[in-house]
Amino acid sequence: MLTRILTWSGSSVLTVLHDAGRLWQVASTALVRTIMVPLRGGRLRVNATASQVIAAGNNSLALVALISLLIGMILALQTAYQLRQLGVTSLVADLVAISMTRELAPLITAILVAGRVGSAITAELGTMKISQEIDALTVMGIDPISLVVVPRIISLVVAVPALTVFSGLLGILGGCGVGVFILGLGAQGYLTDSISALVQQDVWGGVIKALVFGLIIGAVSCQQGLDTEGGADEVGRSTTRAVVRSIVLIIAADLFVTALLYLRGQT
């Protein structure tokens, strides 16, 4: 029994280290290609990248808008329930604005994008891998990282922050709707309180998190797609792994960035 436990533990650790190494390899290679190609006189695939940005935004926009609006309304109701007992219902606007901008907007957006766009990227690259399209590009002397990975990672690094800003605004508007129609607060006063409650660090903190989350989603999705082996059933498994690992890394990165911003604010 002990031997089996040790064997399973060692195998799991080796698998995690291998996947972490592959993830770092894909991310670092894509970063190097993004920087070095223009320096060597080459051109980035601007049109392909722009198409990926538009696709990522369009595929996630409606879902992000709906979820953010509902989360803002729920957050306003929950905070109002507690603040009403203290007689400070007017602070609902402040709490909703800060919570959405700092934490909920980037986190919700990243999770939704990982499930909707990240899974699609993994499935697409996984299908290309098992159909030997990636190998064919390598044989023809075309770098698959520059061709298929870099545009997708850049698109997510651009799309996720943009969607995060949109998510924060919709969350604040959702809270405003609850404040006006249920709590009896004035719309102008609610929005004024929301804006005055935010400081520059709140806004930039959310954007920085979104940039990190976009990089994580892109790197994990592309790595899982490129590492797909076997038949069509492996594409589904790779897609599932990509979504799960993206969400886990997003939450871990959220904690790390939040801690850094907190410590920076303390100094």
In the predicted structure, residue 5 carries a pLDDT above the cut 90 = no
Check residue 239 and give its pLDDT.
92
For residues 9-25, average pLDDT:
72
Q: What is the pLDDT of residues 98-124, one digit of tens each?
A: 999 989 999 999 999 999 999 999 999
For residues 161-168, average pLDDT:
94
Tell me which DSSP letter residue 115 carries: I
Check residue 42 and give its pLDDT.
61
Check residue 39 and give its pLDDT.
61
In the predicted structure, residue 188 carries a pLDDT above the cut 50 = yes
Check residue 267 and give its pLDDT.
37
pLDDT tier for residue 40 given thresholds of 50, 70 and 90? low
> What distance in Å separates the CA atoms of residue 238 and residue 251, rounded to the nearest whole number?
20
pLDDT tier for residue 8 given thresholds of 50, 70 and 90? low
First CA to last CA across the chain, in angstroms? 51
Check residue 261 and give its pLDDT.
81
Phi, psi for 182 (deg, rounded to 5):
-115, -45
The candidate with the shortest Cα–Cα distance to 64, out of 121, 122, 97, 105, is 105
Q: What is the pLDDT of residues 232-258, one digit of tens each?
A: 788 888 999 999 999 999 999 999 998
- Contacts of residue 121, defined as CB under 8 A and 6 or more positions apart, other chains included, come to 152, 218, 221, 222, 225, 242
Check residue 66 and give its pLDDT.
95
| Contact indicator for 185, 179 with CB cutoff of 8 Å | yes
In the predicted structure, residue 186 carries a pLDDT above the cut 90 = no
The mean predicted confidence, pLDDT, of the chain is: 85
> What distance in Å separates the CA atoms of residue 264 and residue 267, rounded to the nearest whole number?
5
* Cα dihedral across residues 19, 32, 251, 74: positive or negative: negative
